[in-house]
Structure 1
Amino acid sequence: MTPRRIAFVGPTLPAQQRPAGFEYRPPVRHGDLFDLCLRPGDQVLIVDGVYQHFAPIRHKEILAQLARGVHVAGTASLGALRAAELAGFGMQGLGQVYGQARAGRLTADADVAVLHTDDSAGARRLTEAMVCVRHALTELLEARQLDTHQASRLEQAAARLHFTERSATGLRHEAGPDRDAMHLLLDHLQRHGDIKTRDARDALHTLAARPVPPPSHAPGPADNWTSSYGRQWDFEHRPLKPGSAVGARLALACQQLFATDFPDRHRAYALRMAAATTRTTGTAGRLLGAAGFAPATRPHARLARGTEATAHWTADERLLARTFRLPPGRLVYQDLPAEAVAGTTLDELEQRCLRLLLPPGAQAPPTARRHTLLSRLWQAGSEHDYRLCALERGFRDTAEAARLAGAFDLTLIARLLREPAAAR
C-alpha cells in the first residue's frame, strides 16, 4: 500500500501556494490523527492547528503515531511548537520558526496564533502573528530601513495587542506617532511574505521532493504514549478479527445492546477488572471498600435499586457494575473482553453483527427513536430506569448507547421487541 502524505494547513499558506503530492486537511485538532487510521510509513506534516475554540492536538496523540512508525513533522505555526517540544521523541521540525522554538526563543502558542476565517472560506488570515512581526522587524533592521528605537517601539505596540486584535488597522492605531514606520512593516509583510508562510511553503516543497522514508523506529512501546482517548480510538477502529468488516467496538456494542444477559456479563467483567485493579478478592462490597467507596447502605437508593435485569443482584453489585471505570476513570471498555464473547465464537459474533447492521447507505433512525426503542428493549419502567439499564450494560451514559445503536437496523430492533425473550 502506498504511504499517505497528509498536511494540516490553514491560514498560514493559501491554497494556490500549496504543492501537489499531499492530502490537505484543515488545521489539526484533537483526535484528527486517530481519525485518519494512519499506518507505519505514512507521513504527516502539521502546519496549523486550533487551540481556542476546539481542543488542541495532544502531545500523546503525536507520540502514539510516532510509536507506530508514522513520520510526523511540524513547521511554521503550532506544528513548529509541537515539533520543538517533541524533538527528542522523533518528531521532525522544519523552518526558522521551529528553530526559534527549539532554541527557547519562542515558547507561547499565542506568538504564532492568528485570527482567521473558517477553512471552508479559504482560511483567510485576519491578523498578524507576533513571530512574523518580530522576524519582519529584524529584516528591516538588517536592511537599515528602521533604526533600533523604531523597531523596539513597533514590537512593543504589536505585543500590547491580543492576537485577535493584531490586524493592520489595529497595528496602525496602536503605533501612534510611529504609524508611518508601522505602515512600512505591514508593506514588508505584504510584499515579502511572513516567516510562517515561507516556512510552510519551504517545508512542503522539501517533503514533496524527498522520497517517503521507511517506517521510523518507534521511540518505545506504544503503551508508553497511549491515553484513554488513544485507546478509545484504537478500539473503535480495530477489526473484530483480521480482515473483518466488523469493528471490535461495534461487536461489543452489538452484545451490549441486544444480548439479554449482558448485564450479568458486564457484572462479571467489572468484578474481575476491579479485583485486578485493587488486588482485592471477594464480594462487590469488599471491592468497593478497597477502592475507597462505602458499600451500599441503602439497597433502594437511586443508583443501587434494581431493574428487570438486575433484580437478583445485591445492591453492592449494582453500584459496582454501574460505576465501574478503567483507570484513569473515563473508559468502561477498551477491548472486547472474554465475558462479552463467552459461549460464542468470533465468527458467530461477526455474523450476528452483520445481520443486525444497517444496510450500506441506509439512514440511521433519529436519536429520540433509538432512545425509545432501547428503553422498551431493556424493559425500563422509567427514564431513570433507562439510565440505570445503560450503565449496567457498560455504557457511560444513554447518549453513548444511542450513538452506537445508530449503526444497527431499526426494523430488526423493532422485531426484537416483538419476539419472545427466549428467541433473542
Structure 2
Amino acid sequence: MTIHVFAGPSLADSPVLDLDGVCPHPPIAHGDVYRLRLDAGEAVLIVDGVYQHTAPVRHKEILDLYAEGVAVYGTASLGALRASELHGYGMTGLGTVFGWYQDGRVFSDADVALTHGDADVDYRAFTHAIVSILSVADRLVAAGRLDPDLASRIVELARTVHFSTRTNRALLAAADDAGLIGTMRLIVDELRPDRLGDIKRIDAEAAVRTLLDGGTPAQPAGEVVVPVTSYRREWRLQHTPATDDPHGPTERQVLAYAQLFLPDFPDRHEAHVLANLRPEYPQLALDDFPPPWLAGLSPDELVSRRILTTGEAATLDDRSRAIRVLVRTFRRRSGRLVYEELPAELSADLPELIRQSTRLLGLTERAMRVNPKFHPGDVPAGSIDAMFAALWRTEELPTQVLDRGFRSLGDFRDQARPYFMAARAVVAMNDAQM
C-alpha cells in the first residue's frame, strides 16, 4: 500500500519520507487531493497544511476521498485538527496532538499554527507552535525538572505571542517581561532536535511507521454517507488533472479553454443546454412558447438584468427570446453550476483541447518566469473584459459570457485570468492580419 504523506515543517529532513511505501507531498492545500487522482486502497496521511495565502484543505474534500475508498489519516498538526473535526466521519486520527484535540486540552487552529519556509528551505519552521511548547513543558514536569504551576504559566505566556512571531527571541523577551526568562530558556533549549524535541515531529514519524506496519486500520468504508454537493462537484472539476500528468491542465482549465477560444462554443453550449433541460427539469413545459414563467418577465426587465441586449429585446420573437433566456440562465439542479464535469460533447476533441490549453497556459508560465512581478491574479478585471471582448469581437460582453456557459462575469474572469496572456497574443495576431 502506498501512503501519500502531506508534510512540511513537521517532517523537514526526516528519514521516514524516504522509506519504501511513502510518497511525500508538500503541505496540503485546497484541491491537492483531487490532483493526485487516488485509487481505492491507497492511503493519505495529512500532517501539515497551508491556510493563510492559500485556501486550506476543506472537510468535504477529505470526505470525498473517504467516499472513494481512500483511507485518510491525520496527525501532528493540521492533520490532527482535521482528524478531530472528522472523527467518526471517515478520518482516523493518530498521535498525542490528536488526543489533545479529542479531550479538549487544545481546541484552536492557532494551537498548531506556525510560520515556515517554502520547499527551497525544506519547509523549515521559523516559529514554535503551542502544542510543541505544551509537550516539552509536560515532559519536563514528568521528569521533575519543572514545577507544574510554572509549566502552566509558561504555556499561557506563549499563547500571548502570535504564532507568526513566536520565535525563540520573542518568547524569551515576553518571558523576561514576566519574570520567567529562566523557565522559558529551559523550554526553548529542550525544543532542539537533539534534546526532547518537537511533538509534531514525534507524532508524524510515529504515524508513518505505524501505517507502514499496518498497525492502525482506517474506519471501514461505507459507514458514513457522504453527500454529493455542488461544491464537491465543482472542486473535483476545478482540480482534477485532465490527464495522468498531475502538473498538466485541470479538467476545468480545459473546459475554460474551449469556452474562451472555440469560435463555435456558443452554439455548442446552446445545444448542450437544450439537450439537458428536460432531464434536469422534467417539469418544465418546453413545448409551450413562451413558457408561463417567462410571460411574467418584461423585455425591459430582462435587459436590466443583462440577460438580453436591447437589440434582442426589440427584435427577437417570443420563441427565440425564450430559448435565449433559457440558455443564459441555465443551471444544474444545485442552482450554482452550469457545468459540473467536462461535457460529453467535447470528448471527440479532448486530446486537441488538452494540447492547446497546455500550450496557452504555458504562455502565462513563461511570462511569470520572465517578469517575476507579473501574476495573472493581478490583472485588472477591466483589462480582462476588454481583451476578451476584442477576441470575441463583441460589444455585449455580459451576454456573450453567458452564451459561452459562464455563470457570471465573476466566473468568467476567474477562468479567463490564466489565459489572459494567450488572449492578448491572439488579439495582437488578429490585428496584424487585418
Distance 1:140 1:220, change over 3 A: closer
Distance 1:235 1:151, change over 3 A: closer
Identity of aligned residues (%): 35
Shift of 1:70: 0.3
Shift of 1:295: 5.3
**Aligned residue number for residue 11 of structure 1:** 9
**Aligned residue number for residue 369 of structure 2:** none
Match of 1:394 among 405, 426, 432: 405
After superposition, where does 1:23-42 map in structure 2 within 5 Å? Answer: 23-42=23-42
**1:112–1:131 Cα contact (<8 Å) kept:** yes
**Aligned residue number for residue 324 of structure 1:** 330
Distance 1:121 1:101, change over 3 A: same
**Aligned residue number for residue 90 of structure 2:** 90
Q: Could you say what secondary structure the match of 1:57 adopts?
A: coil
Partner Cα distance (2:16, 2:298) in 1: 61
After superposition, where does 1:123-162 map in structure 2 within 5 Å? Answer: 123-162=123-162
Q: Could you say what secondary structure the match of 1:51 adopts?
A: coil
Partner Cα distance (1:161, 1:46) in 2: 26
Aligned residue pair count: 388
Partner Cα distance (1:53, 1:373) in 2: 28
Distance 1:389 1:334, change over 3 A: same
**Aligned residue number for residue 217 of structure 1:** 221
**2:7–2:47 Cα contact (<8 Å) kept:** yes
Counterpart AA for 1:358: R
After superposition, where does 1:334-349 map in structure 2 within 5 Å? Answer: 334-335=340-341, 341=345
Q: Which stretches of structure 1, 4 residues or more, deviate above 6 A after TM superposition?
A: 211-215, 246-249, 367-374, 404-408
Counterpart AA for 1:164: S
Q: Could you say what secondary structure the match of 1:7 adopts?
A: strand
Distance 1:147 1:225, change over 3 A: farther
**2:230–2:334 Cα contact (<8 Å) kept:** no
After superposition, where does 1:39-54 map in structure 2 within 5 Å? Answer: 39-54=39-54
Distance 1:83 1:287, change over 3 A: farther
Structure 1: tracts of 5 or more residues without a match: 241-245, 342-348, 419-424
After superposition, where does 1:206-355 map in structure 2 within 5 Å? Answer: 206-210=210-214, 216-220=220-224, 222=226, 224-234=227-237, 237=240, 250=254, 254=258, 257-259=262-264, 261-268=267-274, 271-272=277-278, 275=281, 279-281=283-285, 286-287=292-293, 296-298=299-301, 300-301=303-304, 302-305=306-309, 314-315=320-321, 317-326=323-332, 328-335=334-341, 341=345, 350-354=347-351
Shift of 1:83: 1.1
Partner Cα distance (1:263, 1:306) in 2: 22
Partner Cα distance (1:336, 1:103) in 2: 44
**Aligned residue number for residue 243 of structure 1:** none
**1:288–1:294 Cα contact (<8 Å) kept:** yes
Partner Cα distance (2:417, 2:171) in 1: 50
Deviations 1:273-330 (Å, cap 9, x if unpaired)?
A: 7745xx55366764469xxx9554346444411789x966655554443343335544
Q: TM-score normalized by structure 2? A: 0.74
The answer to whether structure 1 residue 64 and structure 2 residue 64 are counterparts is: yes
8-17 or 45-54, which deviates more: 8-17
**1:60–1:225 Cα contact (<8 Å) kept:** no
Distance 1:225 1:51, change over 3 A: farther
Shift of 1:370: 11
394-403 or 252-261, which deviates more: 252-261
Q: Could you say what secondary structure the match of 2:73 adopts?
A: strand
359-368 or 12-21, which deviates more: 359-368
Shift of 1:120: 2.8
Distance 1:219 1:352, change over 3 A: same
**1:49–1:56 Cα contact (<8 Å) kept:** yes
Partner Cα distance (2:126, 2:152) in 1: 24
**Aligned residue number for residue 202 of structure 1:** 206
Shift of 1:170: 1.0
Distance 1:88 1:50, change over 3 A: same
Partner Cα distance (1:211, 1:404) in 2: 48
Partner Cα distance (1:372, 1:79) in 2: 44
**2:97–2:203 Cα contact (<8 Å) kept:** yes
